[in-house]
Each structure stands twice: as structure tokens, then as C-alpha cells.
Amino acid sequence: MNSETMVKIPVIDFSNQDLKPGTPEWDLVKVQVQQAIHEYGCFEASFGRILEVRKPLFGAMEELFDLPFQTKQLYVSDRLFRGYTRVSLRLQESIQIDDANVAENIEQRLTKVLWPQGNSNFSKTLFSYSELASGLEKKIRRMILESFGVEKYTDELIDSTNYTLRLIKYEGKPQSNEPSLLAHCDQSMVTLLYQNEVNGLEIQTKHGEWINVKPSQNSFVVITGESLDVWLNGRLNSPKHRAMVTENKARYCAVLFANPKGGYQVKIPEELVDEENPLMFKPFDYDEFWEFYASQIAKGDLSTGLKAYSCI
């Protein structure tokens, strides 16, 4: 099952701070993005600025997960699987916060609950991370939309994004060969993942092979999700992935999901529908979809997601 392979996902350099639409530099990077998502549905985005937040970020995550269980449990969300979750069997814990690119939101909805006496460094660190990652995500999304000729929708889509931050801790020393996170496709538009030095992410290729992803310290792993696939009328291939943690050290992962905002109807652009490409999916509201998906997760079924929910 865990067939080790030498294949690597492509690495694309986003370090150029002046990367602007319409410039030759932009177009060069865009072609690489296009090829990578066509072949793998994902890639590694190298982005040196992330090193500025690396140390505080993983420090903040340690501080968070070191809190007593009873304290972490105080952080609940109005939506199932969007607050604090612990899967003891898999030695995995995670916390999710919606609209993580809004500083006030992190402070009021998360930090104040966990540290009533205040912990502004924690809020600042999470915000800096989300700001960097969401800024990069916007560029990547614009490039993807340009490569499908539907860039006129970029602003509308970006404006209706809920950046959900998911912080995960996988305890070292798993007891079995079972994945620490079961195979799934992300339900987001785009996901950016940043990890500490402990590897574990595996991505499945179109041919069914599992690739071990070993990102460098200055890279995000960028994964396309089913919301984008559906919006592009099935033109993408959002890859299945899982986490297999085999090291004895804890693995920390900060995952930023660019999800559609609840209340916004995600609808396939008419330019992407014609005789050869008939309409494949109904419009959907992400929060309504989530009610359905949460019940699937509760049953342990991560494979029946948005594509199944909204297909015609």
C-alpha cells in the first residue's frame, strides 16, 4: 500500500515579490502552475518569506496543543468538525478557525476562549501566517483562472472566500500502519499547507501511485480542492492525499483552506459549458454542503464529498 516512489511533485518558485499579472515573469510561473495542476493537481510553492514566521508559528502551535484537554475543548464552533477535534485512535488533534485572515476574528473567537487573560502574540502569529498564505493563494488562484480563460471571475471568487485555518498536531509514534489522516480530497478551492520538519504527507497520482511529499522549509504544498474542480465544471483533478506519520517526533501542520463563504452560491461560469462540456454540477452553498459532509465524516466516509453532493 505504501509504495515508496522517487516521483516528486513540481517545485515552483514564487519568491519574486513583484510577481504581477501581465508581466513575462507572471506568465512563466503561470505555465508551470498550469502544467503542475494538470499532471498532479498540486505542487510545492517555494516562498522564502514564510521563513520569517516559521519559528513563531510552530512555537504557537506547541503552546496551543500543550494546553489541557479541558481548555482546548472550550473552543467549539457552530459547525461540526470546525472547532477542536481529537481523534485519539490516530493520535491526531486539530483546531479550525474561519476567516483567519481577519486579525480580530482570531483574537475574539479563538485566543480569548483559550487564554481569557489574553495572548496577543498567539493571535499575531496566526494572523501573520494566514496573511502570507492567503496573499500567495490569491496569486495562485488568479493564475489558475487565467489558464482556463475565466480570469474575469477572479475578484468575485476571491471576495467570497472564507480562509479557514486548520492547525494539526500528529503525535509521534503511531501504533499501527494505518494512516494518521485518512485518504481524502480537499473540499476547498485551493489549500496551502506548511509543516514542521516531520514529513508524512502522501499524494496520489492519476495513476494511483502514492508520492511521499518532503517539502523544503521555505515551501508550501499547494493542493487543489473539489470546490475549484466543480466550479471549473470538472476540468481539474483534485488529488487524493493522506498523512502517514512514522517518525517519533510530533508533526505540526498549518493548513489554510480557501473555501467559498457560506451564503455565496458557487456556480459554474457559462464560458465553461458547451456541447462538448455539458453542465456537470449544480450550484452549491459551501456551508449547506458542509452539513452533509460533516455527517459523512462522522460515518468515517471521507470519499463522498462535494463532487458527489453537487453532481447532476
Ligand X SMILES: O=C(O)CCC(=O)C(=O)O
Alpha helices of the chain — where are they, by DSSP H? Answer: 24-39, 51-65, 69-72, 103-105, 112-114, 120-147, 154-159, 226-231, 286-298, 306-310
Q: How far is CA 265 from CA 16, 204, 288, in A?
A: 34, 30, 10
- In three-state secondary structure terms, 108 is helix
**Residue closer to ligand X, measured from CB, 26 or 163:** 163
Residues 249-308 touching ligand X, rule: CB under 6 A, are 253, 255
Residue 289's identity, in one-letter code, is: F
Q: How far apart are CA 296 and CA 195, in angstroms?
A: 27
- Verify binding: residue 287, Fe ion, rule CB under 5 A: no
Shortest CB 298 distance to Fe ion, Å: 17
- Verify binding: residue 186, Fe ion, rule CB under 5 A: yes
Which one of the spans 18-26, 95-103, 193-201, 283-291 is the region binding ligand X (CB under 6 A)? 193-201
Which one of the spans 137-145, 180-188, 202-210, 286-294 is the region binding Fe ion (CB under 5 A)? 180-188
- Rule CB under 6 A: choose which of 201, 211, 228, 256 binds ligand X: 201
Q: What is the dihedral of CA 260, 310, 35, 193, to 10 degrees?
A: 40
- Verify binding: residue 139, ligand X, rule CB under 6 A: no
Name the binder of 9 from Fe ion, ligand X, none, CB < 5-8 A by kind.
none
Measured in whole angstroms, the distance separating CA 112 from the mean position of its chain's CA atoms is: 25
Binding site for Fe ion (CB under 5 A): 186
- In the complex, the residues that contact ligand X under the rule CB under 6 A are 166, 168, 181, 186, 193, 200-201, 241, 243, 253, 255
